[in-house]
A = this chain, B = another copy of it.
Amino acid sequence: MNYGKFHIYTGNGKGKTTSAIGQAIRCAGTGRNVYFVQFLKAQITGEQKILTKIPNICFKKFGIKEFIINNNIKKEHFIQIEKGIIYLDNILKNKKIDLLILDEFNLVLYYNLIKLDKLKEIIKICKTKKIELIITGRYLNEEISSLADLITEMKEIKHYFKKTLARKGIEY
C-alpha cells in the first residue's frame, strides 16, 4: 500500500483534531499502526478514553493544563515539547509506524517551540519510511505548506462558540 503522504488540517473552524481522530480510527481499523501525538493540550478528553484502548493506536500527550493564550508561553510548555521531540525521535527510529499524527503541531512551530528545520527533518523521515503524516493546527507555515501533499482548510462559516461554553463530549 502506497503510504507516505503528508496531510495538513488547518483553518479556524471546528474539525481539525476530530478529523485526525477519525483518520486514526479508519487506519487502525485496517490493522495498521497509528501513533497519535497530541501537543500543547493536557485536558483529559473523550477521544483519549477510547483511543488509548485501541491496541494498534499509541496515544501520547505532551502539554500542560494551560493552553497558550496571548503568546504567553510558559517554561513547562518548552519542557513538554522537548520531551515530545525526544519521543518522536525515538519512535521514528525504532517503531513500525503507518500513520503518524502530530496534533496542534502547526502551533508548536508558530510559537517557535520547535525549529523549522527539525520539522522538515521529521517530514523527510516520514516520506522516506512511507509513513503517512498528519499535522493539525492553525497558523500554517508557508514553507511547511509547500511540502504537503494535501491541505484542508477547516473554514469557520458559522460557530456557536461565542454563545456556548465548551461541552464535554463535543468540544473536549
Q: Spell out A's residues near B (CB within 8 Å).
A: 1-3, 5, 7, 9, 11, 13-23, 25-30, 32, 45-51, 54, 98-99, 132, 145, 148-160, 164-165, 167-170, 172
Q: Report the 6 A-B pairs with minimum CB-CB distance, sorted nearest first.
A: A18-B22, A29-B46, A21-B22, A13-B152, A151-B157, A30-B169
User: For residue A6, which residue of chain B has the nearest CB?
Assistant: B160
Residues from chain B with Cβ under 8 Å of A20 in the complex: 18, 22
Residues from chain B with Cβ under 8 Å of A132 in the complex: 170
Taking A19-B22, A152-B156 as known contacts, 10 extra A-B pairs with beta carbons closer than 8 A to each other, sorted by chain A number, are A9-B15, A13-B152, A17-B22, A18-B19, A20-B22, A21-B26, A29-B48, A29-B169, A50-B54, A154-B154
Residues from chain B with Cβ under 8 Å of A152 in the complex: 13-15, 154-157
Contact B169 A158 (CB under 8 A): no
Contact B170 A160 (CB under 8 A): no
Residues from chain B with Cβ under 8 Å of A154 in the complex: 15, 19, 152-155
Measured between alpha carbons, how far is A148 from B13 in the docked complex, in Å? 14
Contact A153 B148 (CB under 8 A): no
Name the one of B19, B25, B32, B169 contacting A51, with C-beta atoms under 8 angstroms.
B25
User: For residue A49, which residue of chain B has the nearest CB?
Assistant: B29
Contact A160 B5 (CB under 8 A): yes
Contact A155 B11 (CB under 8 A): yes
User: For residue A32, which residue of chain B has the nearest CB?
Assistant: B169
Measured between alpha carbons, how far is A17 from B152 in the docked complex, in Å? 13
